[in-house]
Each structure stands twice: as C-alpha cells, then as structure tokens.
C-alpha cells in the first residue's frame, strides 16, 4: 500500500482535496465545529427520503436494516441512524468515518442506548484521522450504545481482516433485530 503523504508532516494535495470534499459534503470542518449546512442538509434529506422508501421497496423494515458505509458513507450512516426523529436502524457499521456535527442536525445518542454499532478505523488514516473514530467510540459508549471497535495499522481503507468479525457482528445484529420485532409483535 502506498502512502499519500508528502515529505515531512504535511498532507499531500490529494489528501487536502479529500478533506475539502468531505467537509463540503458533511458541512463539518476538520478540527472544528459545525459551520455549513449548505451541502449536508440536501444530501441528508435525499438520503433520508431514499431510506424511508426502502421498506416499501424491499419489505424489510428500518428496524431490521443495518446502515453502513465507508468514509462519507459512514458519516451519513451515523447521521441517518442517530438523528432525532429518525427511526432506529438494527445497527450502524461505520468504517473510517466520524459522527457529524452540523448546525441543525440534532443527534440523540442516549436514545440509541443498546444499538449495535461497529466502528473500524486505520491508525494511519490521513484523510480522516483515527482520532475521529476514537471520538465516535467514546461518545457512543458514554451514551450506552453497544460498540464494537477495531483499529488497524492501515491508511484510509477497509481492513480485510476486520471483515470476518463484521460478518459475525452483522449476523448477530440482524438476528437480534428479528427477535426484537417478534417480541414487539407478540406484545402488541
């Protein structure tokens, strides 16, 4: 795997462009707080509309759906799965991402206590530093979320060794959601 860092400690122009694109799509500034909703809000609305239509198209309710993604996909998975007023998914799978902090996005982490969330992040990630994954883990664990966390000595990529663990996690998460749905139907 080749590094995308230039000589010294400065990130290459490619990394800078990736950070700029990520900031533009999430409204989040690296190292700072929420600043822009110009691109995040319409992207979130479009993704939410698509996700809201998914159960009718597939017959699988949101409560039995795991939201997941890599990089920007992880950011949107967090946003869609943790935002106030959104239905809780079966779980969230976030690889090399971060929990967005965007003006107007109200996250209710405590309301997701017990929600299974799997996080994977490379310790050599130069696009979204590992501190973002660690921050997500800390915030979610503090809220009572059931977090599976793995760091790998990799850059901004997916650790293929973590995929084996994720397969088992995904199976347990879906089975747990099905059991909860069955209990809910029996009680109702």
Q: What is the pLDDT of residue 83?
A: 97
Beta-strand runs (E) in the chain: 66-70, 91-95, 116-122, 146-152
Which pLDDT belongs to residue 39? 82
Reported as a single tens digit per residue, the pLDDT across 84-105 is 999 999 999 999 999 999 988 9
Q: Topology of domain 13-187, per CATH?
A: Rossmann fold (3.40.50)
| pLDDT of the residue at 186 | 74
Measured in whole angstroms, how far is the alpha carbon of residue 69 from the centre of its chain?
6
DSSP 34: B
Longest dimension (CA), the chain: 63
3-state secondary structure of 137: helix
Eight-class DSSP state of 160: H
| Every domain of the chain and the residues it spans | 13-187
Which residues lie closer than 8 Å to 152 by C-beta, 6 or more apart? 120, 121, 122, 123, 159, 161, 162
Task: Give per-residue pLDDT as tens, 8-56.
Answer: 333 333 343 344 334 444 444 444 444 355 788 899 999 999 999 999 9
Calculate the CA 74 to chain-centre distance.
Answer: 3
Position 188 confidence tier, pLDDT thresholds 50, 70, 90: low
The 10s digit of each residue's pLDDT in 133-168 is 999 999 999 999 999 999 999 999 999 999 989 999
Q: How many CB atoms lie within 10 A of CB 15?
A: 18
**What confidence score (pLDDT) does residue 34 get?**
43
For β-strands 66-70 and 116-122, DSSP reports them as unpaired
Task: Look at residue 37 in the predicted model and tell me its pLDDT.
Answer: 56
């Amino acid at each position: 795997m080749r590094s995308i860092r230039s000589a010294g400690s400065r990130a290459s122009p490619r990394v800078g462009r990736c950070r700029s694109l990520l900031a533009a799509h999430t409204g989040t500034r690296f190292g700072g707080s929420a600043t822009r909703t110009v691109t995040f809000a319409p992207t979130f609305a479009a993704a939410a509309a698509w996700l809201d239509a998914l159960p009718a198209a597939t017959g699988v309710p949101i409560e039995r759906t795991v939201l997941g993604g890599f990089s920007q996909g992880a950011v949107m998975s967090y946003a869609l799965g943790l935002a106030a007023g959104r239905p809780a998914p079966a779980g969230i799978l976030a690889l090399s991402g971060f929990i967005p902090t965007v003006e107007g996005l109200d996250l209710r982490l405590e309301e997701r206590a017990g929600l299974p969330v799997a996080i994977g992040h490379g310790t050599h990630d130069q696009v979204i530093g590992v501190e973002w994954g660690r921050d997500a883990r800390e915030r979610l664990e503090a809220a009572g979320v059931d977090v599976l966390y793995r760091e790998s000595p990799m850059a901004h990529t997916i650790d293929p060794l973590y995929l084996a663990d994720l397969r088992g996690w995904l199976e347990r998460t879906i089975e747990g959601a099905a059991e909860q749905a069955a209990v809910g139907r029996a009680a109702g």
